[in-house]
């Protein structure tokens, strides 16, 4: 069995799998679909460990449901749910769980953080990453805007598009970004739920999950912080975004790069090697590369290497392979498609709308990229800085079939992160999760 996919963006949180034997051609009908199960609307992706699939599903009228499926058959083995009703624009699920040992960790769109025992199927501990630190409850009846739908106004400081944290297991710690008034990044004891450390609030409303970056050979937790959202937070003073490096053991802030306009940021930071970090900003603000360096006094500082509006990704973390970055750059106003960029910020190529890629998900395995396009298609691509080289394409995904008006409004938004293990690729749209055979 190939390496599991135990967390957001895979085993090393970089969208890379060690899976071998990826099929380089598909039949005219596409790769074999091994099974399909019904799921609720939303954007939450699955994780895989020891032949089992875990997905934080959601029913906005009731709450979150952690579900466990058999990877071979798709049979639902067990589930655990809790009440957390509420809906925002782009309704439904949000995040990707993390599994470590006998525990699976998940964070719902209203901040409910649960540690569930995979053997007893019962909670070991639970907290709220948002309201525990002074955040307004976005699903309290008094906070709902007129009509109950939409994210703008009426919810106090609750994030407009809800909480989208994908937990990071680091040693004995479970690390997430709260960004409530009383906390920035928070590290819990993964076994007890006790808070081990927390940083102060780091800035504006944020949808970024923490990443781990090597600086001078040592791990640092890195967070990308948005600039002020000029649409949804017009009452707030306009401040720029930042990138922050944190000591994993203590929560000490080691350095902070400030002054980047990147509102509504979702994608995590990318470790670009040699103390370099790539960040992509929300909407049309592109990408920023910085370098972190130790100063003569022993402290750290960060400097800009380049920034560009010609490369970016609104919802996913770019993929790095053989010195080149690949990302899906589709925003409200840009349709650059799949874009390839080198380490110096030079754009190698763009697909634009031929073909279009818009907020899909990508995995690198066996020297190939498996990519959803954010709509209906799954692609097999040979990564090459000289040109876009598709090897195969199939339309597997469908338009949403739901009586939920919020879901129906947004059509074919198949934006969830995908997962790969044992030659099986898991993809979900707004009504189904399917398992596709992509390896020999």
Domains and CATH numbers, the chain: 16-437 (2.130.10.10)
Q: How far apart are CA 277 and CA 288, in angstroms?
A: 8
Task: Determine the Cα angle at 103 with ends 99 and 109, to 5°.
Answer: 65
pLDDT one-digit tens code per residue, 343-376:
999 999 999 999 999 999 999 999 999 999 999 9
231 φ/ψ angles, rounded to the nearest 5 degrees? -90, -50
Q: How many CB atoms lie within 10 A of CB 40?
A: 23
Q: How far apart are CA 428 and CA 109, in angstroms?
A: 18
Give residue 154's pLDDT band: very low, low, confident or very high (50, 70, 90). low
Residues in the chain: 440
Peptide bond into 355 cis (omega under 30): yes
321 φ/ψ angles, rounded to the nearest 5 degrees? -145, 125
Q: What is the dihedral of CA 138, 114, 47, 431, to 10 degrees?
A: -40
Candidate from 89-93, 120-124, 128-132 with smallest mean pLDDT: 89-93
Bridge partners of 338, per DSSP, are: 328
For the cut 90, the answer to whether the pLDDT of residue 143 exceeds it is no
Tokens of 304: 């800009």
Determine if residue 47 is left, alpha or beta; phi over 0 gives left, psi from -120 to 50 gives alpha, anything else beta. beta
Token pair 């053989």: residue: 322
296: which residues sit within 8 A by CB, 6+ positions away?
none
Residue 400's pLDDT is: 58
Element (H, E) at 243: strand 241-246
Candidate from 87-91, 141-145, 312-316 with smallest mean pLDDT: 141-145
């Amino acid at each position: 069995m190939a390496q599991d996919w135990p967390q957001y963006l895979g085993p090393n949180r970089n969208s890379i799998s060690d899976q071998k034997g990826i099929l380089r051609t598909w039949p005219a009908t596409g790769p074999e679909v091994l099974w399909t199960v019904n799921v609720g609307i939303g954007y939450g992706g699955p994780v895989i460990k020891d032949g089992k699939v875990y997905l934080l599903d959601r029913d906005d009228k009731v709450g979150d449901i952690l579900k466990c499926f058999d990877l071979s058959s798709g049979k639902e083995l067990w589930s655990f749910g809790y009440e957390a009703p509420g809906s925002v624009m782009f309704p439904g699920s949000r995040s990707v769980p993390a599994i470590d040992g006998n525990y699976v960790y998940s964070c719902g769109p209203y901040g409910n953080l649960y540690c569930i025992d995979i053997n007893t199927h019962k909670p070991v501990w639970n907290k709220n990453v948002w309201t525990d630190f002074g955040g307004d409850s976005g699903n309290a009846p008094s906070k709902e805007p007129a009509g109950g739908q939409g994210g703008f106004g009426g919810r106090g400081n609750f994030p407009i598009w809800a909480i989208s944290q994908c937990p990071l297991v680091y040693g004995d710690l479970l690390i997430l970004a709260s960004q409530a008034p009383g906390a920035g990044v928070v590290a819990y004891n993964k076994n007890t739920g006790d808070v081990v450390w927390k940083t102060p609030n780091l800035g504006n409303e944020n949808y970024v999950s923490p990443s781990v970056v090597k600086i001078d050979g040592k791990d640092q937790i890195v967070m990308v912080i948005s600039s002020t959202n000029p649409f949804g937070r017009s009452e707030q003073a306009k401040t720029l975004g930042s990138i922050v490096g944190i000591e994993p053991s203590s929560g000490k802030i080691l350095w902070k790069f400030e002054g980047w306009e990147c509102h509504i940021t979702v994608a995590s930071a990318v470790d670009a090697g040699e103390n370099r970090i790539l960040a992509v900003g929300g909407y049309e603000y592109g990408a920023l590369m910085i370098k972190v360096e130790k100063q003569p006094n022993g402290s750290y500082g960060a400097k800009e290497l380049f920034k560009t509006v010609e490369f970016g990704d609104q919802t996913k973390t770019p993929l790095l392979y053989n010195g080149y970055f690949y990302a899906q750059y589709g925003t409200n106003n840009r349709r650059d498609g799949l874009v390839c960029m080198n380490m110096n910020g030079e754009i190698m190529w763009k697909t634009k709308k031929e073909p279009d890629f818009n907020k899909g998900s990508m995995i690198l395995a066996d020297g190939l990229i498996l990519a959803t396009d954010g709509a209906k298609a799954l692609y097999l691509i040979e990564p090459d800085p000289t040109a876009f080289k598709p090897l195969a394409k199939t339309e597997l995904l469908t338009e949403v079939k739901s009586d939920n008006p919020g879901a129906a409004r947004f059509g074919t938004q198949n934006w969830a992160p995908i997962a790969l293990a044992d030659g099986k690729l898991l993809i979900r749209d707004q009504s189904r999760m399917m398992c596709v055979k992509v390896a020999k």
